[in-house]
Structure 1
Amino acid sequence: MINYHPDSQLLTSYVSGELMTSFSCAVAIHLEKCPSCRHKAESFIEQKACHAFQFEESNGDSSEFDGMLNAILSDDGIDTPPINYLKEMEIGGEQFTLPRALSKLSFGKASSIGKISRSRAKLDEGSVRTSLMHIEAGGKVPQHTHKGYELTLVLSGKFKDESGEYSEGDFIFLEGKHKHQPVSVNGCLCMTIVSDSLHFTQGINKLLNPIGTYIY
């Protein structure tokens, strides 16, 4: 059961096409798995469509819309939709089929530290970094906070932290004030989006802070 969802503002931005590629992919994947959020998104689309029609009517000039509609109706050509093949990927010694929204993204070679493996998406989004993160069974990420935000979308398996347990489809957005230590009993694969480096807060792991940018 999915218990964590994107908020209405994020869904509205997704419907409006205002999100960066990484967030748009994450929301799209969540919508594939979550009927309730998919219904909300469809409602927002209907609202935007109604608003567009009302705007045309209030301006009293529908010639542009009518011209577009006539062009669509008069076009008897047949477009063949592209086939989006699902991408297979090995990370952390396991083979995964990635969600359709990630099929066109390129990922770098996976790197590992202990039971944590990470493959970075090749996206040009400034300081924002998007990765696939795999935690092997019994693995954990050292307790940390973030200097910016962290979005985690569970693609397969489960993990837990101090705030709860997260399953496939869960969409978890955390800000820098949150401190947590993700642990996976049976292993999991997640999509992560972070705007800044990790900051480790416990014991000897603090020595990793200079390379926090490379872990997530």
Structure 2
Amino acid sequence: MNNKFDALKDDDSGDHDQDQGSQKDCEKEKNDNDEDNDQNTAKKKIAVPGVGEHPLQYNYSFWYSRRTPGRPASTQSYESNIKQIGSFASVEQFWRFYSHMIRPGDLTGHSDFHLFKEGIKPMWEDDANKLGGKWIIRLRKGLASRCWENLILAMLGEQFMVGEEICGAVVSVRFQEDIISIWNKTASDQATITRIRDTLRRVLNLPPNTIMEYKTHTDSIKAWEDFHGLVNAVGGR
């Protein structure tokens, strides 16, 4: 699988910088489909490899989200703000999506790309995620695009060697820094968590002093609820 990716990467994985017009066109298309997003997602056909294509071990979906910073979000508004870009089942289909997507380093505002196994929503509450957690790495500006590419190629190429534990990955573009994370199913499986951490260090070529944080989704949900409880308490005064 790694060799298949390397061969395709030589041909198709240049910088593929997209101009702002392309980004606006993409956002316009997503906005046009917002109203029927849930129904359309449910009706989407399962992706299958084309004739002669190299199948991946799992099918995956790209998602995109953007929100106004500083504005409190509910679980419902967060879910409605996540837009599915599309699903793929082969190496070739992945590159067809990826080669036309703007790079994380060129995104503006409070934006996120998510790449998750098909059928798993990039939300803590999803059945596949709720007992799991994520490794978080904070990046200085300018590193997100390359780290994101290395991370998702490693994930699609099954380099983490942890069976079905990997759920997906996220890159979050913020004003002062960027954040990448990889999500797994079982937060209590210490051996798996350690292997994911060590693989991350290798595929991203991280310096030994890089700070890596593991956070369970249960803790994330609790922190979110505590924060919004405080916001509501202050707002009610």
Same-fold call, TM cutoff 0.5: no
TM-score bucket of the superposed structures, by smaller chain: under 0.3
TM-score (norm. length: structure 2): 0.22
